[in-house]
Amino acid sequence: MQKAAILLSALGLVGAGGAWASDLDLTEFKAASAPVPYYAAPSWSVVGSLSPTLTDNALFSRDNRRSDLYYEPDVSLRLDGNLTNDLSYRFYARTQYDAFATEKDGNAAVARLGARLTENWDGWRFSAIYENRYDFDGVYRDLAFISHDVMGSVARDFRVDNVTLSPLLLLTYRFSDLAEARRWRFDAVLGIEIMLAPKWSIVSTPLFEAFWFTDGLNTGRRDQIYSADVGLKYNFASNLSLTTTVLYEVRTSNVAVRRYRDLRIGPRLDFAF
């Protein structure tokens, strides 16, 4: 069962293909709240979220749908600095896992070490990112595979009255010691925030993801993920918020068994210190 779980995770049936399919940390691509002089000293921060979530498809299965509750902590330690007024860098370590109440086969964990270089140009943010990623079977139980993700992104924020739109385009190639995990990935994301009051807002992050697998048993496999959500966000402070979200996700694929749909609902506490 243990070896099967590792292989299923690599092939995108559980873990890496479900909960981790949409594991973008959008705070990685947000603009700083104020310009930072290039001579400012580098700064440390801890950023993350805690989210108990109810899902109606814990194993991300096409035919074996099982409802369950899972807990997902996601925490990053960051070092941020500037090389010039327009060129910034970030080094980070990030840990994230899913722990299911009943469906333990859905448990998965990821640890990352990464670096990002971002150029701000006329309101646009262009980033080059590298991540050394470790995927685990279960909650840090056994190492399933190691990957090296190379990414490029472009993002920008548009503000009109009480509405902020944050489009993001991201392209990734994954090198891995497991052939089935090697693939191209394209993400198109639109962050939406509508301020209702000083502390309240409606938020949504519709996204599209496309995967082109290149090696091993996954050679020729093509997946697409469509996700739509809506949430109500309350800001306790500028660095602490609570968002309750309903999300619907569909994965299509040219390999029929990889297809699934999933409905999730739950609160998420976001923090930054």
- Tell me the two tokens of residue 99: 């722990």
The reported pTM is 0.88
Above 90 in pLDDT, residue 152?
yes
Region for 57 from its dihedrals, namely left if φ exceeds 0, alpha if ψ lies in -120 to 50, beta otherwise: beta
Close Cβ partners of 132 (under 8 Å, ≥ 6 residues apart): 112, 113, 114, 146, 147, 148
- Sign, CA dihedral 142-209-163-44, equals positive
**Side chain identity, residue 114:** G
Place of tokens 């959500």: 229
pLDDT-based confidence at residue 9 (cuts at 50, 70, 90)? very low
| Overall average pLDDT of the 45-62 stretch | 95
Q: 86-119 pLDDT, tens per residue?
A: 999 999 999 999 999 999 999 999 999 999 999 9
pLDDT at position 27 = 65
pLDDT-based confidence at residue 30 (cuts at 50, 70, 90)? low
26 phi/psi in degrees, rounded to 5: -65, -20
| Overall average pLDDT of the 63-82 stretch | 95
Above 50 in pLDDT, residue 16?
no
**Side chain identity, residue 261:** R
For the purposes of burial, counting CB atoms within 10 Å of the CB of 5, is it exposed (0-12), middle (13-18) or buried (19 or more)? buried
CB 185 within 8 A of CB 211: yes
Above 90 in pLDDT, residue 77?
yes
- Tell me the two tokens of residue 240: 């602490």
| Overall average pLDDT of the 160-178 stretch | 97
- Give the start-end residues of each E strand in 40-196: 43-55, 68-82, 87-100, 108-121, 124-137, 142-155, 158-160, 163-176, 183-195
pLDDT-based confidence at residue 41 (cuts at 50, 70, 90)? confident
* Rounded Cα distance, 27 and 75, in Å: 12
Q: What is the mean pLDDT of the chain?
A: 89
Region for 15 from its dihedrals, namely left if φ exceeds 0, alpha if ψ lies in -120 to 50, beta otherwise: left
- Write out the DSSP string of 176-199: ESSGGG-EEEEEEEEEEEEESSSS
Q: Which domains does the chain have, with CATH numbers?
A: 2-272 (2.40.160.40)
Above 80 in pLDDT, residue 22?
no
Place of tokens 């506490």: 269
